Amino acid sequence: MHKNLKRGIAFGVVIIAAGVGLMSLVTGGGVTPYVGFTEARAAKGNVQVLGEIIPEASSYDTQAGAFSFFIVNDKGDKMKVLYDGTKPGNFDQATSVVCVGRYESDAFHAEKLLIKCPSKYQDQPKKSGA
C-alpha cells in the first residue's frame, strides 16, 4: 500500500505540472502588467494602460477599420491610442478604457480595449420613501 501511495502522489504531481504548463501556454506565458504612460512608452512588450477618454478627440475610419482616440491619465498626460478594429459599440458612453498593447511610433497600438462605462446606479436621485 505504501508503494501505491507514492505512485499516486507522483502521478498527482505530474498532472498538476502538466496543468500549470498548459495554462501557461493558453495565457501566453503570464499576465500583462498595468503600467503608467511613462512606463508604457519605455516597455519592450505588451502592457496595459488605463486612461480617461477624451471624447472629442476620437476618429473612426470605417473603410480602413482603424479607430484612434486620446486618453489622459491622472497626472494630465495625454496618449494617442490606435486600434485596428471595429469601434466598440459602447465607446461613446465610456468614461475610461484599459488598453492592452504596446507603444511604438508615437502612439499606443492597442490589441484589445476594455471599456469602462459608468454604472447605471451612479448619480441616481434617491427615491423618497412612501
Q: How far is C-alpha 40 from the geometric centre of its chain's CA atoms?
A: 13
Rounded to an integer, the average pLDDT of 32-39 is: 90
Residue 25 has pLDDT above 80, yes or no: no
Euclidean distance between CA atoms 43 and 47, whole angstroms:
7
Residue 113 has pLDDT above 90, yes or no: yes
Cβ contacts of 45 within 8 Å, gap of 6 or more? 102
- How open is the CA angle 82-83-86, to the nearest 5 degrees? 145
Residue 115 has pLDDT above 70, yes or no: yes
Residue 128 has pLDDT above 70, yes or no: no
Tens digits of per-residue pLDDT, 54-65? 988 899 888 888
Euclidean distance between CA atoms 121 and 115, whole angstroms:
17
More confident site: 37 or 18: 37
pTM of the complete model: 0.68
Residue with cell 511613462: 38
